Structure 1
Amino acid sequence: MKLPKELTNGFLIFLGIGIYFLLMNVLGLSHLFYLRTLNVFFIFYGVNRTMQMNLREGDTDFVSNAVSAITTSVVGISFSVLGLLIYSYARGGDAYVATLSETFMFGGNPSVPTYCICLLFEGLASSVIVTLLMMLYWNNKYVAD
């Protein structure tokens, strides 16, 4: 059975983000917040890959490609947040998240679920933005009427 391209590319986004953050942690660069923002490139990669696959299959409908692109990015973000949730509890739970929030935008002392929910909303917002940007980039390839 062949998995849908949205699930496959979403999983590639998750792998890219996961490996990137683990590598930053190993290299001791996880405290640099601006390096954390570069994970958006993995979302761009996955969404672009889905859209290219749709074009190769002859799917040029604007709306179905927009839904496919947003599905890809939401799957990738959801897997990433779930991975962060598991990783955070494996590293010490709230104590680990407290070290992350020092260099991130959270004030106070967020719990693991609060941290993950906030990142989920941020990721969903970035998914919409990436999808819109990619749809603008590929605009001349799709039928809008």
Structure 2
Amino acid sequence: MKVKKEIKNGYFIFISIGTYFLLMEFLGLSNVFYLRLLNVFFVLYAVNDTLKSRVKNGNTSFLHNIKAALTTSLVGVTLSILGLLIYSYMRGGDAYIHNLSESFLFGGHPSINMYCFSLFFEGIASSVIVTLLLVLYYNDKFAAD
């Protein structure tokens, strides 16, 4: 059975973001807030690859391409959050999350579940934004329904 391009690119997002954050932690840069924002480029690349592939194969339905782009980014976000959840428990649980949340925009002392839950919704919001930006960028290649 052939794995869909959307799922492959979702896994690419997961592997890329995971490797990027592990590298940042290894280099001691995990507390630099602005470097955390660069993960959007992995999502942009993967969603763009999905849309380019679909346009190249003649899939020009606007709604189907939105669905494919959202699937790509949401698979990546979901796997990344699950990876963060597992990694956080491996690194010490709430103490590790407390260190992460000090350099992030959280108030108080969030638990691992609250931290991952809020990052999941942030990921969904950024997935929708990236999807809309790229679908509108490719707008002239899509057939209007």
Same fold (TM over 0.5): yes
Cα RMSD (Å) of the superposition? 0.7
Listed as ranges, the gaps of 5+ residues in structure 2 are: none
Tell me the amino acid that sits aligned with residue 31 of structure 2: H
Q: Map 1:55-134 onto structure 2 (within 5 A).
A: 55-134=55-134
Rounded to whole Å, the distance in 1 between the matches of 2:64 and 2:97 is 38
Report the count of equivalent residues.
Answer: 145
Tell me the residue number matched to 1:17.
Answer: 17
Report the Cα offset of residue 56 of structure 1.
Answer: 1.8
Percent sequence identity is: 60
TM-score (norm 2): 0.98
Report the Cα offset of residue 2 of structure 1.
Answer: 1.1
Deviation >2 Å, runs of 4+ = none
TM-score (norm 1): 0.98
Deviations 1:35-73 (A, max 9, x none): 101101111011001101111211011110011001110
Report the Cα offset of residue 88 of structure 1.
Answer: 0.3
Listed as ranges, the gaps of 5+ residues in structure 1 are: none
Tell me the amino acid that sits aligned with residue 60 of structure 1: T
